Amino acid sequence: MKGAIITQPGLEAVPGKELQELVGLKCSISKSVVLFETEKFEDFCTLCYKSQSAIKILYMFFSGKLKSVEDVIPSLKGTDLAEWVDGTTFAVRSKIVDNPDVSTLESERVLGEVIHEKYNAKVNLEDPDVTFFLYVIGDTFYFGVDFAGFDLSKRNYKVFALADSIKATVAYSLVRLAGYKKDMSCIDPFAHSGAVAIEAAFYATGKPINYYNKDRFAFLRFPQLKDFDFDNFFKRNDNFEHSLKGLTASDSQQRHVRCAEKNAKIAGLNKQINFTRMDVEWLDTKFEKGSVDVLISNPPKVSRLLTEKGIEKVFQELFYISDFILKQEGRVVLLVKNYSQILKHAQRHNFVLKLSFKIMQGKEEFTILVLEKGSK
């Protein structure tokens, strides 16, 4: 059985590592897609339940190159989908990235008609038992069954959101690129709505990211899994840590701290995170010299309320404090935009750029910087 994890473009290494950790499988990587093979349906279920980096988990039938949706039809007609549509309802969904020649609505209509005509299968666009999914990125397509049946990158804890909040999958990637582990001390000094700290808490405790979504999964209705013991599956995967030390979410604005704490409570992880209202320049009053392993954050960007000069001051203070509170070879991981001025302050305080990743969040390009404290 072939599978595909659809993820954030530019961050494919993170789900690749997660795949190995969660189900012990190796992978091959393409742009925004991690491909794998397994002999067990349970591996798909586990990834849906626990992956923090996935947008979709596909049970994949085929992939290829395309110029139009018509290029998908021969493979679709040549694939036996009978076991997936026998006695079930279906729908076709699609996501098109960087290909203006393929229409979402048209691809869903055309492929849906092929499946309906071949199997006389019953269409249900509102609540299908099985959702077939076409993912197109550039001139490459992937087609399979959406195993979860919903967008795995959406979090039900993100109720109290702010304009500068980041995607949960990006926040999780920052955590993993920092090398954060449960026995480490970690701080996010610009917590905003708390995504970084909450994703770190899910990862460090081992609490499944979809712990509160058990009843939503499409795979519960798949005919191939009608004899699968889901009660035992969830019980085995719900064995996680309930205590955690050393994880702090801080922000200079009290409303941000309250927002983060409320979201963490919805996630059931507010007791695992220390929340504090504090300006960056005062962090040395809370943390001892050389006591913190990693600093991970989505720092402020230039806006009508924060000028270039203001940003200069923010990063000057950030790296001065980071140099003081971080352990030797401690890491700073940041999601930034224009970063030449940031590197200037980092180098002044003896931080070395180890890695950088270009990613898209919506229609905006950002860069993830991984900086390490050097020896003096």
pLDDT of residue 364: 81
Instruction: Identify whether 231 is part of a domain.
Output: no
Is 107 in the same domain as 246?
A: no
**Range(s) of the domain holding residue 357:** 168-207+240-373
Is 186 in the same domain as 132?
A: no
Q: Is the pLDDT of residue 37 over 90?
A: yes
Mean pLDDT throughout 155-175? 88
Is 14 in the same domain as 141?
A: yes
Residue with tokens 């955690």: 244
Assign 353 a pLDDT band (cuts: 50, 70, 90).
very high
CATH of the domain at 127: 3.30.2130.30
Amino acid letter for position 127: D
Task: Give tens-digit pLDDT for 85-98.
Answer: 988 999 999 999 99
Is 364 in the same domain as 322?
A: yes
Domain count, the chain: 2
And the tokens for 272? 């695992």
Mean pLDDT throughout 173-179? 96
Instruction: Identify whether 157 is part of a domain.
Output: no
Nearest to 147 by CA among 227, 61, 231, 222: 222
Assign 301 a pLDDT band (cuts: 50, 70, 90).
confident
Assign 376 a pLDDT band (cuts: 50, 70, 90).
low
DSSP 116-158: HHHH-PEE-SSS-SEEEEEEEETTEEEEEEESSSS-TT--TTT
Instruction: Identify whether 328 is part of a domain.
Output: yes
The 8 Å CB, 24+ separation contacts for 155-160 are: 155/195, 155/198, 155/209, 155/267, 156/212, 156/213, 156/266, 157/198, 157/263, 157/264, 157/266, 157/267, 158/193, 158/195, 158/263, 159/262, 159/263, 159/266, 160/193, 160/258, 160/259, 160/262, 160/263
pLDDT of residue 322: 95
pLDDT of residue 245: 87
pLDDT of residue 375: 63
And the tokens for 239? 């064995």
Nearest to 62 by CA among 124, 12, 111: 111
Is 132 in the same domain as 178?
A: no
Q: Is the pLDDT of residue 133 over 60?
A: yes
Coil, strand or helix at 276: strand
Q: Is the pLDDT of residue 6 over 90?
A: yes
Assign 302 a pLDDT band (cuts: 50, 70, 90).
low
Among the listed ranges 135-139, 338-342, 367-371, which one has the minimum average pLDDT value? 338-342
Q: Is the pLDDT of residue 356 over 80?
A: yes
Q: What number of CA atoms fall less than 13 Å from residue 349's CA on the CB side? A: 24
Mean pLDDT throughout 168-184? 95
Mean pLDDT throughout 99-106? 94
pLDDT of residue 303: 62
pLDDT of residue 249: 97
Average pLDDT value over all residues in the chain? 93
Among the listed ranges 182-186, 233-237, 312-316, which one has the minimum average pLDDT value? 312-316
Nearest to 267 by CA among 210, 215, 192: 210
Mean pLDDT throughout 340-349? 86
pLDDT of residue 242: 82
Residue with tokens 């997660």: 18
Is 325 in the same domain as 178?
A: yes
CATH of the domain at 265: 3.40.50.150
Is 201 in the same domain as 301?
A: yes
Is 68 in the same domain as 125?
A: yes
Angle, CA of 183, 189 and 192, to the nearest 5°: 110
pLDDT of residue 161: 73
Q: Is the pLDDT of residue 115 over 90?
A: yes
Q: In sequence order, what are the beta bridge partners of 122?
A: 89
Is 96 in the same domain as 173?
A: no
> What secondary structure, in 3-state letters, does 215-261 show?
HHCHHHHCHHHCCCCHHHHHHHHCCCCCCCCCEEEEECCHHHHHHHH
Is 299 in the same domain as 336?
A: yes
